[in-house]
Structures are given as structure tokens and as C-alpha cells.
Chain A
Amino acid sequence: MAEQVKSDMDEVRNLSLDKSILLIDDLHTHFFTSDGVIKAVDGVTLSLKKGFVLGIVGESGCGKTVLALSVMRLIPDPPGRIVKGRIIFDGADLLALDEDEMRRIRGGQISMIFQDPMSSLNPVFTIGAQVSEVILLHDRDVSGPRPALAKAVDVLKIVGIPSPEKRIKDYPHQLSGGMRQRVMIAMALACRPKLMIADEPTTALDVTTQAQILTLMNDLKDKIGTSIILVTHDLGIVAETCQEVAVMYTGKIVEFSNVDKIFNNPLHPYTNGLMKALPVIDNRSESSRLYTIPGTVPPFTDLPSGCTFHDRCEESMDICAHEFPPVCYPEPDHMVRCWRFKT
């Protein structure tokens, strides 16, 4: 069994190594707490092709943010630690780098956008100072604060901030939520990173602002050629912006394919349940009740045996309670971890 899994993993690796900007290989990030070891990322293998948007979806507490932070190597240690695996970014293993080398990559080649723009901007510095700081640190072509500030103005213009030459003197509290998130995106894009990780970038924003920010991210991806990992719980956003989707449950990727297959032909019972549980506008007359997945997401300290979804699954079999399903490929580009697809 283990050998089968291993050869499947090798296949993923070979398929994607040439075109991919990022390859996560059997990554394990654990937290060592007084309640026991929390395996927030438990054997994740993923790849992201150049210029693609990969969506990582899952409910709160499934480990998607920890996965994103692991790629940035921002896991607080203690209690957390990446215990196993490789993260190959642009040909180099990030986990083998020392802290100085990692710092040069972070913000320069890989950047991150967080959910809450208010708490990720420093309230005592102007936005001009904060955007130009990134440029000063990572852009070798820019020397001195004045050219950096000039470049900051350019970047702020790109992300659609009106009259940026005046706005650079503003402090974060003087901007609206949408504007703050634009500043965060400007900081993330200032050095034309190869990879951008956006962790719930629009969750704190209103729908009309959200639509503007997502359109902006898509335009910039085409302009700059940045690859994006989008971490979100909103399946609507995934359908509109991502090409590939990974569904995460209790620290593991349970399904991975392109966006059409995930939405039109979801194989894993969990993905299927999530799709059916979405309320669709004005369909109450047709079906009076929403589909619900029974039970709740189990806490990491108390995971069920075998497949961690088996006690909520309507299609579970005997084997599901005993062993976590291996990686299965019902179709060449559709990965699912479910015993029903084991041939």
C-alpha cells in the first residue's frame, strides 16, 4: 500500500516538475501543544504551474492557513515546526535555506496578502513609507528613499488608488477597507514576485469591493505573470478566479484537480457535500431544504480513525474507519483520496 502511494507521488512530481513554480512535497507541519501534537498539515503534496491561480479551499480549522504560512516559513516555533517534506520554489528547496536567504525571498520573490488589512499595516507609518520599505529591501535597482518612494507611487497607481502622490502621506486609518487591501496588494506586488500567497484576501470586505479587488488581482497576474495561491472558504471566489483547486480537510488534501472538474464532477463526498450545501438564490421553491453534511469538522486533538471524514460520510465503507485512503487517480488530472475510487 505504502509503495503504491509512493509511486503515485513520484508520478505527480514528474508530471509537474518542469512547468511548476512551486512544488510542495509530502509536507508535515506539526504543533507541539500541551493537548498533544496537532498535525495541521499532514502530508500535503501539491504543485502550482507558472502563471496559474491555485485555490485552497476548506472550512475553518482545516489547516489551509498553516499550509500557506509553511511556504513562507512563518510558522511560530515553538510550538509549531515543519517536521518533514520539501518545498521546491523555482528550483530551490526553501526548507534548506538559512534565515537570511529566506528573508531575501520573502517579500521579494514570494509575497503574502493577509485577511485583515487593518492589522497587517503598521498604524504609525504612512503608507508611502511602508510600500517603499519593501522596495528598498528587495529591489536592487532602486537606491535611496526618494526613488523608492517614486516607485511606491507607481505601484499604488497600478492597484488603482486615486491620486497616489497625495495618498502616500496618509496613515492606514485614513483609508477605507478596500483601499487598505489595495495597499497590501501594492506592497505584495512592488517587487514583482514570482509567487503571491493570498490568505482570504477579501473576506473582510464588502461584495462590491471584493469584486474590484479580485478583478485587480486577476489583471495584475496577467500583467506581471505572478503565480497565485488563493486560500479561501468561498467557493464562488474559487470558481471565478482559480484554474486549479485543492480541497483540504483535517490537514490533508482530499481532492485536487482543475476548477471545472472540481465543480462539475466533484468526487470526494466532502467536496460534493460542500457544493450541495451552498444556498443558491431563489431555489427554495424547488428544494425546500439545503443539503447538510452531518456533524462538524473534528478538532485536530480528536480526529477519527482511518479516513477523518468517515463518520460524517454517507458513503463510508468498513475500511474507511481503519485506514486513511491512498492517493487515487480516477482520471489522470483528478486526484482524490477516497476508498471508493481505489481500483
Chain B
Amino acid sequence: MRPLLEVRGLKKYYPIKTGLFGKSVGQVKAVDNVDLDIYPNETLGLVGESGCGKSTLARLILRLERPNAGTTIFGGIDARNATGESIRNLRSGMQVIFQDPFGSLNPRKKVLSLVEEPMLIHRIGTKSEIRERALRLMELVGMHKDVLGRYPHEFSGGQRQRICIARSLALNPKLVICDEPVSALDVSIQAQVINLLIDLQDELGLSYLFISHDLSVVGYISDRVAVMYLGSIVESAPTSSIYNHPMHPYTQALLASVPVPKPGLKKVKPKLRGDISNMLYTLDGCVFSPRCSLAKDICYNTKPDLIEKEEGHLVACHMC
């Protein structure tokens, strides 16, 4: 099967500027040579700690940022060559849900016009068709149509996230990028939103790129999981494979760090040195080598490639 989204060699470097004239003294490799595939009706989980480049990768896929190198091919359209009309098609096929449902809804607009807005911009259908579709979308995400005349501040966090979801579905996207969609929500509300996302996927055949730092949520919702560290994908595999049999030392440490809600469970504590490294210092070798307990000379000198060690299980590590 052909992937819905192919990401090839994507790079985004930000220059570090200092002084009065903004002299460039180096660069932050926010996304460094990332390859990814997302297949139709699949959920790819993307995990990593803060500052590892997860959100930058999402912005690059959405073309909200231009990459320094590499490309994304979505539904057969190469984003590099896309201009004008074709970039519009690209964008309507990919939508995004952000973490903060408070910051992503215009407080001066009523719910109805918030949901209608994307359809008006992309000029699909007449005014009455758009209104009808907005009503259907609100029903789809479980909101009563009586609330359409209200403003965002009148809703709770979970309800606002439902409005964001309705809005992201307005243009019939094939891929929805969920950037920490449940991180700001309480446990009981989080479960409601996760269930909604799963139901919508089954109903509409959506693909998700599900970005989160919460490994339990990602493990629950994803078909495949990719682990990111300092701008690079270090491991990617089917969910059960990566959780039962993590290969990369970073993935192992990450999984061992997750608090498990079972009292008395004795766990092996991860052997990790230091904090997440500063992106400002560029390393020749493996990005994880300064913190890794297994690191040998080769790890400090040569960057490992992402290699398929088992069927569908890719790892970037010299020691695996």
C-alpha cells in the first residue's frame, strides 16, 4: 500500500544570531534528516521530551515552516513544487489540532462561525450548505446544536477541544495532526477525547499523526510509534513491538521512567546521565551518546543510521 504521507530527509535548522548585526554563530538542528511514512487509516504516535523537535516536525509537514532540505509528499503531491492552488489542496487534506484549546479559538467569534470559517476560506458550497455541514460536524463531535451561538470562553477545556476537532474536520481531511491534544485535559476528560478521536477515525477513515509526551496515551491510541530525540528519529516500530521490546537505550529509559499506576511494582530505574542535551552544541556522533550508558567510541564519532533490525522495527543505534 502506498503511504498517505511520505516524509523524506526533512531538515530544519534555525540560525543562532548574536550581537547588534545578528551575526550567525551556529545553528539549532530542530529537525535533522527525518524520514516518516503514514499510511491511510493509521495512527502514528510521535513521542519525545520537550524541545526534541516534535512540534517543528508537525509544522514542517503542515508547511507552516519551510524546510532547509528534504520534502513531504502527501497524497502524491510533492510539497516542494506545490504553489497557489495545489498548496491549498494540500492544506485542506491535512488539518491540525493543537494542545491548548484556550489559545486556538478566537475568543471574539461564536462557535458556529469558528466551525464555518475553514469552509468559507476554502469556498466549499453555498452558505446554507456550509451551515448544514457545520451543524453535522458539531453533532459528530458530540456537541448539542443549542450551544452554537456561544463564545469559546463559555466552554470547558474538553468541550473546547471538541470544537477544535469539529473545525479540523470541516474540510474532510485525510490526515489530522494532533499536537498534544489531551495534555491540557484532566484524566476523565482525556478519556472522552481519546474515545472521540478513535470513533472518528473508524467512521471517517482518518490517519493521525499523534504527538505526545505521554507514553501511555500514545501506546493506547497508536498503531505505530516513532521516538524522537534532539531532532532525530531514534526508533520506530509497531506499538506492541516498541513497548514490549524497546531496542534503543533512550526508548528503554523513557519507558522505564513512566510512572505505572500499580502500587508495589518494582521497576528497574533507568540509568541515564544528566538532562536532555542542549541543542546548541552539535555532535558528530549519536545525539544520545552524552547520556547513554552503553556509549563506545564509535557512538561519539559516527551518527548511526535508522536501520531495520526486525520486520518493521527501525533503530538508530550502533550498540543494538
Contacts and interface: CB of A to CB of B under 8 A. Distances in A.
B194 A290 contact: yes
A262 B112 CA distance: 43
> Which secondary structure characterizes the binding site on chain B?
helix
A308 to B, nearest CB: 14
A41 B214 CA distance: 30
B13 interface: no
Nearest to B182: A279
A185 to B, nearest CB: 15
Contact of A277 (B188, B258, B264, B269): B188
A210 to B, nearest CB: 7
B186 interface: yes
Interface in A266-295: 273-275, 277-284, 288-293
B234 to A, nearest CB: 14
B187 A59 contact: yes
- Candidate in B186, B221, B240, B272 with the most chain A CB atoms within 10 angstroms: B186
A281 B269 contact: no
B320 interface: no
A211 B188 contact: no
Given A206-B50, A290-B220, A296-B158, A277 B259 contact: no
Contacts of B260: 236, 239-240
A207 interface: yes
Given A274-B188, A292-B195, A178 B156 contact: no
Interface string B178-217: 0000000011111110110010000000000000010111
Given A233-B187, A292-B195, A239 B220 contact: no
A260 B275 contact: no
Contacts of B256: 211
B243 interface: yes
A277 B198 contact: no
Contact of A206 (B220, B239, B261, B276): B276
A239 B259 CA distance: 8
Given A281-B219, A296-B156, A240 B259 contact: yes
A176 B263 contact: no
A59 B270 CA distance: 29
A292 B191 CA distance: 6
Nearest to B259: A236
A109 B188 CA distance: 36
Interface in A186-243: 206-212, 214-215, 233-240
A207 B220 CA distance: 17
Contacts of B144: none
A60 interface: yes
Contacts of B272: 208, 212
Interface residues of B, number: 45
A279 B217 contact: yes
Given A206-B50, A279-B194, A274 B187 contact: yes
Contacts of A238: 261
Contacts of A179: 275
Nearest to B43: A284
Contacts of B213: 206-207
Interface in B256-282: 256-265, 267, 269-270, 272, 274-276
A228 B119 CA distance: 53
B279 to A, nearest CB: 12
Contacts of B240: 282
Contacts of B264: 260
A340 B160 CA distance: 35
A129 B189 CA distance: 43
A263 interface: yes
B253 interface: yes
Contact of B219 (A178, A206, A282): A282
A212 B276 CA distance: 12
A259 interface: yes
Interface in A127-156: none
Interface in A26-43: none
A218 to B, nearest CB: 11
A200 to B, nearest CB: 13
Contacts of A82: none
Contact of B49 (A59, A208, A215): A208
Given A178-B275, A211-B257, A281-B220, A290 B191 contact: yes
Contact of B258 (A235, A236, A288, A296): A236
Interface string B83-106: 000000000000000000000000
A288 B202 CA distance: 11
A282 B243 contact: yes
B254 interface: yes
Interface string A47-90: 00000000000011000000000000000000000000000000
Contacts of A277: 187-188, 190-191
Contacts of B257: 207-208, 210-211
A313 interface: no
A178 B239 CA distance: 29
A279 B259 contact: no
A95 interface: no
21 contacts: A176-B276, A177-B50, A206-B49, A207-B257, A209-B276, A210-B259, A211-B269, A239-B262, A239-B263, A240-B267, A260-B263, A273-B188, A274-B187, A279-B194, A279-B221, A281-B220, A282-B219, A284-B198, A284-B221, A290-B191, A290-B220
Given A206-B49, A237-B259, A296-B156, 9 more contacts: A207-B257, A208-B253, A210-B257, A211-B259, A235-B261, A274-B187, A278-B261, A279-B194, A297-B186
